[in-house]
Amino acid sequence: MSKYPDTDHQPFPILIGDIGGTNARFWILLDAYAEPKPFPDLLTADFASIEDAIQQGVLDKTSVQPRSAILAVAGPIHAQEVQLTNCHWVIRPGEMRTNLGLEDIVIINDFEAQALAVAALSDDYRETIGTTGAVAPASRVVLGPGTGLGVAGLVHVQRRWIPVSGEGGHVDLGPRSERDFAVFPHLDRIEGRISAEQVLCGRGLVNLYKAVCAADDLKPVHKTPADITTAGLAHTDAASAETLSLFATYLGRVAGDLALTFMARGGVYLAGGISQKILPALKLPEFRAAFEDKAPHSELMRSIPTFVVTHPQAALAGLAAYARTPTNFGVATENRRWRG
């Protein structure tokens, strides 16, 4: 793709984009010191292609012509094209570079962008769960219950932050308590197994709610994650309230497992809209209790802080930090960067 080193700065102005299954969000960064220029969120279903979305939703609304782009996408990245996981768009970076008149395009995983944000955001954009002292410049983990369960690590090595993407949301999730053993038989499975994502995402919340109702021989009255969350937080429905409590418990268990995997002394960060919406439930004892319950390492777990990321556009903020100072980050761009 390129004969140049990965740490080369891209030419400004830089278009940065966070492309999910439902929404596409864009900023333009004029230079390394400017505040980003935001654009209205776009629905991917409204556009035939990403080129159409960028042209109509961004370029037609500004006199600024970006020279390069950094895109975070929810889908596997291959050499010639990127098929988004929950969207009809197929991104062909070589063609897109030519069609939009760009000199340089970098495409990374969407949760790598969340990890970059975790390295760059100030204290103002994170809410502490439990108690913590000073946050160490040490390895971190970011989890994002949303459409699915995104997971990324952030390794701190030689004063650089290195994002590590993966499919950690698909690790096994199993029962431990008596209540778990009553609820788990009613959860929907994938080929016989229950992964974390089967419970810890929007559709997973519904899956868990239905299982709680089935375990108690109740008829479900809610159909959407939003309805379950609203009723659970208001305690107007016992099954919904228990669903949120179990959701927080299971999220704490998985977060704790990943903290041990990455030795994330710099903290575990919960990203995405669901985490922000259920923050009151996460601040109850269940999340931290499950997070710390990792004998023989409970003392270690008590020393690891946990946060909810509250920045409304965290992925874009992470991309902007990388665009400004790429040498601060060890972002692998081999086969993910297209230049002329």
Residues 6, 59: contact at Cβ < 8 Å?
no
298 with 162, same domain: the answer is: yes
287 with 188, same domain: the answer is: yes
332 with 303, same domain: the answer is: no
Q: Which amino acid is at 59?
A: L
Beta strands in the chain (DSSP E): 14-19, 23-29, 37-38, 42-43, 68-73, 82-83, 90-91, 104-109, 126-129, 140-145, 149-157, 160-165, 268-270, 306-309, 337-339
Token pair belonging to 94:
């070589």
231 with 201, same domain: the answer is: yes
Is 0.85 surpassed by the pTM of this model? Answer: yes
Task: Name the phi and psi angles at 133, rounded to 5.
Answer: -95, -145
Q: CATH number of the domain at 76, please.
A: 3.30.420.40
Domain ranges, residue 56 = 14-109+324-339
129 with 105, same domain: the answer is: no
DSSP-assigned letters across all residues of 154-177: EEEETTEEEEEE--GGGSB----S
289 with 242, same domain: the answer is: yes
pLDDT of residue 79: 67
42-43 and 23-29 beta bridge pairing: antiparallel
- The answer to whether residue 6 sits within a structural domain is no
pLDDT in tens, the chain (340 residues): 444 344 468 999 999 999 988 899 999 999 999 999 999 999 999 999 999 999 999 999 999 999 999 999 987 787 688 888 778 899 999 999 999 999 999 999 888 999 999 998 888 999 999 877 678 889 999 999 988 899 999 999 988 999 998 888 999 999 999 999 999 999 999 999 999 999 999 999 999 999 999 999 999 999 999 999 999 999 999 999 999 999 999 999 999 999 999 999 999 999 988 999 999 999 999 999 999 999 999 999 999 999 999 999 999 999 999 999 999 999 988 889 999 7
pLDDT of residue 133: 67
129 with 250, same domain: the answer is: yes
CA distance 279 to 127: 9
Residues 166, 152: contact at Cβ < 8 Å?
yes
Residue 339: beta bridge partners? Answer: 104
Residues 200, 282: contact at Cβ < 8 Å?
no
Q: CATH number of the domain at 160, please.
A: 3.40.367.20
38 with 136, same domain: the answer is: no
CA distance 252 to 320: 30
Tell me whether residue 6 is exposed, middle or buried, using C-beta atoms within 10 angstroms of its C-beta: 0 to 12, 13 to 18, 19 or more: middle
| Length of the chain, in residues | 340
What is the DSSP code (8-state) at residue 37? E
- The answer to whether residue 47 sits within a structural domain is yes
pLDDT of residue 5: 43
Residues 91, 81: contact at Cβ < 8 Å?
yes
134 with 176, same domain: the answer is: yes
Residues 68, 311: contact at Cβ < 8 Å?
no
**CA 178 to centroid of chain Cα atoms:** 31
pLDDT of residue 1: 43
Could you count the other beta carbons within 10 Å of the beta carbon of residue 68? 23
99 with 140, same domain: the answer is: no
181 with 278, same domain: the answer is: yes
- The answer to whether residue 319 sits within a structural domain is no
Residue 152: beta bridge partners? Answer: 142, 165
Sheet architecture: strand order including 160-165: 126-129, 306-309, 268-270, 140-145, 149-157, 160-165
196 with 285, same domain: the answer is: yes
pLDDT of residue 3: 41
pLDDT of residue 74: 82
